[in-house]
Chains A and B, each alone.
Chain A
Amino acid sequence: DIQMTQSPPSLSASVGDRVTITCRASQSISNYLNWYQQKPGKAPNLLIYNTSSLQGGVPSRFSGSGSGTDFTLTISSLQPEDFATYYCQQSYITPTFGGGTKVEIK
């Protein structure tokens, strides 16, 4: 299995801040990396797929980059509705998820 490691596990930020979350794969996964947002008591929601493709309806303040083993999710200007937990997931082989990054209000 490919292990996915996210950092940091949690972060505190203010509305308007630029936020970056990283995800590292235990082996190269090309660009087969996806990001999800999950709010408490809700199902995950696909934000970005194949490293940098924005899912329909997702605001443009979300962006993704990277390749091989190292990837980032960036929120350019954090909004109140963005406080949530974010997960990366590799779709190179049998899917595996990162441990999550909880974005909290500072």
Chain B
Amino acid sequence: EVQLLESGGGLVQPGGSLRLSCAASGFTSSNYGMSWVRQAPGKGLDWVSSISGISHSGGRTYYADSVKGRFTISRDSSRNTLYLQMNSLRAEDTAVYYCAKYLGPRTSIFDCWGQGTLVTVSS
């Protein structure tokens, strides 16, 4: 069974850093594009960042303008885990962060999601 399990969320002060993890099981995550999508409290879904499958585009990375230069997406193939390093956090980054798997190569269709991890940026 394909599963994604996020961890690493919590309370952090503005300007601080946090690293989110997403452990994949039931499939080899490095073969698929993977993304982080966030949802602020009571709001809609907002794409944050993606990394392509290694076999497709060699793990190319993409970022929303709102996080470019502050967030870094990466993966550890040996651990079958996706990461999101978040620096210079702002109050507006407060959200539940989901990792999601792409349905296939050359698509950005999210066919599997984790349960989410809450990041709260507040002093």
Contacts and interface: CB of A to CB of B under 8 A. Distances in A.
Contact of B46 (A43, A55, A97): A97
Contacts of A45: 113
A43 B113 contact: yes
B98 A95 contact: no
Range class of the A interface residue count: 20 to 34
Contact of A95 (B35, B44, B113, B114): B35
Contacts of A50: 109
Contacts of B62: 94
Interface in B79-121: 98, 103, 107-111, 113-116
Contacts of A46: 103, 109-111
Contact of B98 (A43, A89, A91, A100): A43
Contacts of B50: 95
B54 interface: no
A4 B2 CA distance: 29
Interface in A48-106: 49-50, 55, 87, 89, 91, 94-100
Contact of A99 (B44, B113, B116): B44
Interface of A: 34, 36, 38, 42-46, 49-50, 55, 87, 89, 91, 94-100
